[in-house]
Chain A
């Protein structure tokens, strides 16, 4: 019996779901390993009999809270995918404002009718079994995860900073090019895709388990950032704070 897989989306752009759909060369191999039974972006059929639920998006409405709890009841494994689901990502930026203010800012006077609560990662509402970070998810990491789950291996995320992958790729440090980078505190696993293509790391994979945040604040200041700018770098993808919920 192939594992029955569902993909669910909450508050997000559904780019992580789309990343799965875009595994065009691998989709046939994937459907040899698993059976997709529910996935609104890809199919019309639906099912409540689910082994693995991949979930993208943050939980940001009361209805989201109810739905993710139902999914947890239905599925044997719940695996958040992508920054929004993993650590609330960009969505958490709204949490520093009052919800009334946010609705007014985005929708004007009509905003009052919307149900919105501070954005949170899936793991803040239900227990999760594993999670894939990044905005959007890394295709290879997703494929390895599916393979590992089918083979009964425990998938793992790297727990070292992005600098490792920059060095393996032979990149020069982006700081030497005059840019600022979140790589030294960010979890590797994307293959340093942004620095390898002339950009800097924004930290979309979240931090390593024990980031040296103090050291990195000092580094960013040493490279000319103001305290506010340092906070902006830190907060873009990593501002989720339980105490704001």
Chain B
């Protein structure tokens, strides 16, 4: 696949072309502290391609916070249930490598055994233009192997001086560039990708082991005091799970219309950090305590799903700690566990 260079005018040209074919969403700056959000592009000049992170990850476009799965007529005769899949062609413009990894990981999970038709329909209509980034103090992509991706995008932009190197990832990406003004890159410009990556990998916020070791380090860590230490200040507010690009849990609600003519089955974002999440019909709650919920979340990311799908279910984007009002940081938690392990304080067989 080819590599080109595109300037700002070319980016504008590209976005306008894509807008003819699909809804285009891209990062926009928001009010207050450095904060961005994926929003539909109205004016290509309002897009911010150089940003740290968005409040919500791009999963919202494959799996919205609330969506209807089924609608059914009630009343006389048998219930007529209709599946509901609302899809539109979409371009995600300006997605960071960690978030691309996040979407690929959701693909694995949502296509595992039961293929989720709503998720898959949206993902099949989605094209992705990635963009490289500069990590802030909360990012830990270097620790998770997600500082760069070699798939999962149609085009990938790397900022050069006022221009962008464009790597084409797919045939769809090749077609996107047709008719857009680009030029051949120089050898030095192609090297820039590697130079940036080397710089990006130098992060202070990092876990003190190779991430491949995490399942082994988590084995036997269930009874560690680390969980209670970090959970003491947890609100159980779910900010970490809801803003996580890889968290995928939902609740399903049946909403009968007030005139009793129709019912719909909706799913909404849910998460294991919320107190009622593991509550069952009898009123029992399998994870009643904050530390049990915090522990479950981390085991799921770095052990259970890792061993099930062969990759950690964390992309190191840092949204969880960046947005946590009480600064609960998975990097600190993991490093505490590693330190405890070094000291031989592991309780086996937990």
CA–CA, A219 to B328, complex, Å?
13
- Answer whether A161 and B236 are a contact pair too, CB < 8 Å, given A168-B269, A172-B31, A177-B31: yes
Among B232, B234, B238, B269: residue with most chain A CB under 10 A: B238
In the complex, which of the residues B236, B239, B258 contacts A212, with contact meaning CB atoms closer than 8 Å? Answer: B236
Residue A240, interface by CB 8 Å: no
Q: Say if the beta carbon of A48 comes within 8 Å of chain B.
A: no
Q: With a CB–CB cut-off of 8 A, which chain A residues contact B233?
A: 212, 214-215, 218
Given A184-B235, A219-B325: A177 and B32 within 8 A (CB)? Answer: yes
Q: Given A26-B258, A215-B326: A159 and B268 within 8 A (CB)?
A: no
User: Is A167 a contact of B32 with CB atoms below 8 Å?
Assistant: no
Contact of A29 among B33, B232, B259 (CB under 8 A): B259
* B235 adjacent to A216 (CB under 8 Å): yes
How many whole Å from A187's CB to the nearest CB in chain B? 11
**Most-contacted residue by chain A among B233, B235, B237, B243 (CB, 10 A):** B237
| In the bound complex, CA of A210 to CA of B276 (Å) | 11
Identity of the chain B residue whose Cβ is nearest the Cβ of A215 in the assembled complex = B233
Whether A168 lies near B242 (C-beta < 8 A) is: yes
Task: Assess the A215–B235 pair: CB atoms within 8 A.
Answer: yes
In the complex, which of the residues A151, A167, A214 contacts B242, with contact meaning CB atoms closer than 8 Å? A167
Known: A168-B268, A170-B60, A212-B233. A218 touches B326 (CB 8 A): yes
Query: B65 to A172, Cβ gap below 8 A?
Result: no
Q: Could you say which residues of chain A place their CB within 8 Å of the CB of B325?
A: 173, 175, 184, 219
User: What number of A-B contacts does a CB cutoff of 8 Å give?
Assistant: 102
- Inter-subunit contact B238/A167 (CB<8 Å): yes
**Is B229 an interface position by the 8 A CB rule?**
no
Q: Is the CB of B32 within 8 A of A176?
A: yes
Main secondary structure of the interface of A (DSSP, over half): helix
Contacts of A170 in B (CB 8 A): 37, 55-56, 60, 65
B275 in the interface, Cβ–Cβ < 8 Å? yes
Q: Is B208 an interface residue (CB 8 A)?
A: no
Cβ-neighbour of A161 out of B37, B55, B235, B326 (below 8 A): B235
Interface string of A21-43 (1 = CB under 8 A from B): 00000100110110000000000
Q: How far is the CA of A214 from the CA of B323 in the complex (A)?
A: 19
Q: What is the distance, in angstroms, from A175's C-beta to the closest C-beta of chain B? A: 6
Cβ 8 A contact of B234, one of A159, A172, A215: A215
Say yes or no for A209: interface residue by CB 8 A criterion: yes
Q: How far is the CB of B5 from chain A (nearest CB, A)?
A: 34
Report yes or no: A172 in contact with B237, Cβ–Cβ below 8 A: no
Interface residues of B in 100-135 (CB under 8 A from A): none
Query: Which chain A residue shows the least CB distance to B65?
Result: A168
Contact A167 B235 (CB under 8 A): no
- Classify chain B's interface size: 35 or more
Residue of A nearest to B274 (CB): A160
> Which B residues touch A230, using CB under 8 A?
none
CB distance from B97 to the nearest CB of A (A): 22
Taking a contact as CB atoms under 8 Å apart, the answer to whether A172 and B37 are in contact is yes
Instruction: Name the A residues within 8 Å of B256 (CB-CB).
Output: 147, 151
A160 — which chain B residues lie within 8 A by C-beta?
Answer: 236-238, 274-276
Given A29-B259, A212-B234, A218-B233: A163 in contact with B32 (beta carbons within 8 A)? no
CA of A173 to CA of B234 in the docked complex: distance in angstroms? Answer: 16
CA distance A144 to B253 in the complex (A): 12
* Residue with the highest number of chain B CB atoms closer than 10 Å, among A30, A151, A160, A184: A160
Within 8 A of B (CB), among A189-245: 208-212, 214-216, 218-219
B42 at the A/B interface (Cβ < 8 Å)?
Answer: no
Q: Are B237 and A161 in contact (CB under 8 A)?
A: yes
* CB nearest neighbor in A for B288: A210
Chain A residues 152 to 192 lying within 8 A of chain B, measured CB to CB, are 158-161, 163-164, 167-173, 175-178, 183-185
Min CB distance B284 to A, Å, is: 15
| B32 touches which of A146, A158, A172 (Cβ 8 Å) | A172
B183 interface residue (CB < 8 Å to A): no
B347 within 8 A of A: no
Nearest A residue to B36 via CB reads: A172
Contact B276 A167 (CB under 8 A): no
- Contact A163-B237, Cβ < 8 Å, known A168-B65, A170-B37: yes
Q: Is A102 in the interface zone, CB < 8 Å from B?
A: no
Residues of chain B from 51 to 102 with CB closer than 8 A to chain A in the complex: 55-56, 60, 65-66
Say whether A210 contacts B258, CB under 8 Å: no
Q: Are A33's CB and B33's CB within 8 A?
A: no
- Assess whether B235 is in contact with A209, with CB atoms less than 8 Å apart: no
The residue that B276 contacts in the complex, of A29, A159, A178, with Cβ under 8 A, is A159
A143 located at the interface, meaning its Cβ lies under 8 Å from any Cβ of chain B in the complex: yes
Cβ contacts A to B, 5 pairs, < 8 Å: A147-B258, A161-B235, A168-B65, A183-B237, A218-B326
Identify the B interface with A (CB < 8 A).
30-33, 35, 37, 55-56, 60, 65-66, 232-239, 242-243, 255-256, 258-260, 268-269, 271, 274-276, 290, 323, 325-326
6 other A-B residue contacts (CB within 8 Å) besides A144-B255, A160-B238: A143-B258, A163-B242, A168-B268, A169-B65, A215-B235, A218-B233
